[in-house]
Structure 1
Amino acid sequence: MSRTSLEGRVAVVTGAARGVGELLARRLSARGAKIALVGLEPDALEDVSGRLHTDSAHWYADVTDHEAMTRVAGEVGERFGKADVVVANAGVATGGPFMDSDPDAWRRVIEVNLIGSAVTARAFLPLLVSSRGYLLQIASLAAITPAPMMSAYCASKSGVEAYAHSLRAEVGHRGVRVGVGYLSWTDTDMVRGADQEDVMRELRQRLPWPSNKTYPLGPAVDRLVAGIERRSSHVYGQWWLRGMQGVRGYLPGVIGTVGQREMRRFAPRVQGMRTGLVGAGGAADERERSAPRGMPGVPGVPGE
């Protein structure tokens, strides 16, 4: 498939303060795209914006807030005149047994990862229709296969995959392409945060190769950029994920059998596991929700 130049295009990236979103913004900027950064950490977003090669601006917004995201989309349109690419990347995770999980944290994973993605698309679709643009929804290996101790994350990523496939059929005739990006364990704050729990780290390490490895961030993001340039329907951050699509129908049965054995092994150690959101991004989200109501947001600020 031929590639489309990103020179002069406008790309919106949610969850852009760190990890996949931050590096993706830098890679897209290096290819000439103007960047709109969206997230909950204004200082980090300002720092990212200041290090980009092209015109950029950043917005403080919770992707689950329809009014806030509608405002952001309007301001992006005013600031840049259009939006050609939107990457729904914002996400959080929690781990541990479902029966002992924190109900608020479990719900928040669904809200940010699934509902937040839909809110993002709803806000920006008018601009994407205008530009005949491209929406990339970041999913995960967790959309392809279930995993014990990750019920909220698997449910949310399965949901965004199905949602994006449905949306693709709805908006394709209007010139908008919709892609799903799949990532395995990638070296981000989220994965490092999950690995701080010994049980989660050891359970992952007992997965079959190649799903038991943590992969470097750079090559995965480069694959996402190539998918954006091709406006691809499916983008795989690690080469082997494409092959998982052909066997995904068998995976729930396999995981159900193997997972029971592993959970029996780890059962004495799962009591008392931390059940909140993991990683620095999860901590930022928890701070946002615990802040007093009425705290002012940060409007769009042009980057240097």
Structure 2
Amino acid sequence: MSSRTDSSLDGQVVVVTGAARGVGALLARKLAARGATLALVGLEPDELKKVAESIGARAGWWTADVTDRAAMAAVAEEVAERFGRVDVVVANAGVATGGPFLDSDPEAFDRVIQVNLLGSITTARAFLPALLRSRGYLLQIASLAALTPAPLMAAYCASKSGVEAFAHCLRGEVGHKGVKVGVGYLSWTDTDMVRGADEDDVLRGLRSKLPWPANRTYPLEPAVDRIAAGIVRRSPHVYGQAWLRGMQSVRGYLPSVIGGALGQRQMRQVEPALARAAGTHRGLVGRGGAADETARSAGATTGPTG
């Protein structure tokens, strides 16, 4: 791990869910480089252990399903016992699926809602008492999908719109008690999830037709650097790509555009490809999605710490 260049998080304990890979793993390393102690939560013990070892003594890891209230409550208790406090919680764990709603796998569709929305709520429920004691900060990772709807992404857009609204509500409830709540927004960023979605020809083709700058994939590290800086500031809004800030001013117009002529034209263009792919099983995308399915089949529980 690189040497510390910013000690602005010295002494603070940060919990990151979905910390085994992608945004969560790199964010944990970035926050550790700023002086934080990390509690890593996820479903992949081998990957979590690697991230923790890359950080060193100031990191521990817990295997838990964020949708499991009992498991997350146990993690919250163990983190507080081990590190003495919790100052920041980043609700980052997420999965995705795509494709036409009527052809979607109901279990995969529901799992996206469960992990992304209910898992974030469970995370907040478990750790908010500790944040109230420390007058801390909760960052909910949302998405461009919370700002604009998109065909073939109903589950993901619904879940991210939901967590954005949840975070805004929670900010109003706990702000007077000293707890700050932020929402982080990311466009298409180079992670296993996005690469997994791009393996679907229809989804990749539809994304390529989106207006610039929403049609490109952005590098991971600059986006995570911006999120880390937002955590230090305890910002109410954090944008992994700078242009996303401007989306806030036009988001009210986007549903009628996407659901109107633009979206319908794009769907007509991909209809032949959808017909050819009829019957294709579309489960959770990427290696993180595969890990979620594996953990559920094995019955994930609160696991070892390192």
What do residues 190-231 of structure 1 show as CA deviations (whole Å, max 9, x unaligned)?
000000011111110110000001000000000001100000
Q: 2:290 aligns with which of 279, 283, 287?
A: 283
> What is the CA-CA distance between 1:53 and the residue it aligns to?
4.7
Q: What is the letter of the counterpart of residue 286 of structure 1?
A: E
Deviation beyond 3 Å, 4+ runs, structure 1: none
Deviation of residue 173 (structure 1)? 0.9
Q: Distance in 2 between matches of 1:297 and 1:80?
A: 18
Q: Is 1:139 aligned to 2:142, yes or no?
A: yes
1:246 match: secondary structure: coil
Deviates more, 1:156-165 or 1:50-59: 50-59
Task: Spell out the pairing of 1:79-158 with structure 2 (5 A cutoff).
Answer: 79-158=82-161
Which residue number in structure 2 is paired with residue 268 of structure 1?
Answer: 272
Distance 1:289 1:39 in 2: 13
Query: Aligned ranges for residues 169-248 of structure 1 at < 5 Å?
Result: 169-248=172-251
Partner Cα separation in structure 2 for residue 272 and residue 27 of structure 1:
42
Q: Quick check: 1:14–1:21 contact (8 Å CA) kept in 2? A: yes
1:100-138 deviations in Å (ceiling 9; x for gaps): 000000000000000000000000001100110000000
Q: Which amino acid counterpart does residue 293 of structure 2 have in structure 1? A: E
2:15 is the alignment partner of 1:12: yes
Q: How many residues align?
A: 297
In structure 2, do the counterparts of structure 1 residues 129 and 4 end up closer, same or farther at CA, with 3 Å as the change threshold?
farther
Question: Are the aligned partners of 1:4 and 1:229 in contact in 2 as well (CA < 8 Å)?
Answer: no
SS at match of 1:180: strand
Structure 1 residue matching 2:182: 3-state secondary structure:
strand
Q: CA deviation at 1:161?
A: 0.2
SS state of the match for residue 55, structure 2? coil
Deviation readout 1:62-116 (Å, 9 max, x if unpaired): 0000000000000000000000000000000000000100000000000000000
Structure 1 residue ranges without an equivalent (≥5): none
Deviation at 1:157, TM superposition (A): 0.1
Distance in 1 between the 2:182 and 2:188 partners?
Answer: 20
Residue 41 (structure 1) aligned with residue 48 (structure 2): no
Percent identity between matched residues is 70
255-264 or 58-67: bigger deviation? 255-264
Q: TM-score, structure 2 length as denominator? A: 0.95
Q: Is the Cα contact below 8 Å between 1:105 and 1:277 reproduced in 2?
A: yes
Q: How big is the shift at 1:264? A: 1.0
Rounded Cα–Cα distance in structure 2 between residues aligned with 1:273 and 1:4: 50
* Alignment pair present for 1:67 and 2:63: no
Distance 2:34 2:138 in 1: 18
Q: Which amino acid aligns with 1:44?
A: E
> What is the CA-CA distance between 1:296 and the residue it aligns to?
6.1
Task: Return the offset for 1:297.
Answer: 4.5
Q: Is the 8 A contact 1:96 1:273 kept in 2?
A: no
What amino acid maps onto 1:148 in structure 2?
Answer: P
The equivalent residue for 2:305 is: 300
Deviations 1:27-65 (A, max 9, x none): 000111000000000111001100015511000000000
**CA distance in structure 2 between the partners assigned to 1:202 and 1:100 by the alignment:** 18
1:154-199 deviation digits (Å, cap 9, x = unpaired): 0000000000000000000111000000000000000000000111
Q: Which runs of 5+ in 2 are unaligned?
A: 1-5
Residue in structure 1 matched with residue 3 of structure 2 by the alignment:
none
TM-score for both structures, normalised by structure 1: 0.95
What is the Cα deviation at residue 20 of structure 1?
0.2
Deviations 1:248-270 (A, max 9, x none): 01101111121111111111212
Letter in 1 for 2:217: T
Residue identity in the other structure for 1:267:
E
Answer whether contact 1:96 1:274 (CA < 8 A) is retained: no
What CA distance in whole angstroms lies between the structure 2 residues aligned with 1:122 and 1:22? Answer: 23
For the residue of structure 1 that corresponds to 2:202, the secondary structure is helix
SS at match of 2:184: strand
C-alpha RMSD of the superposition: 1.3
Match for 1:288: what amino acid?
A
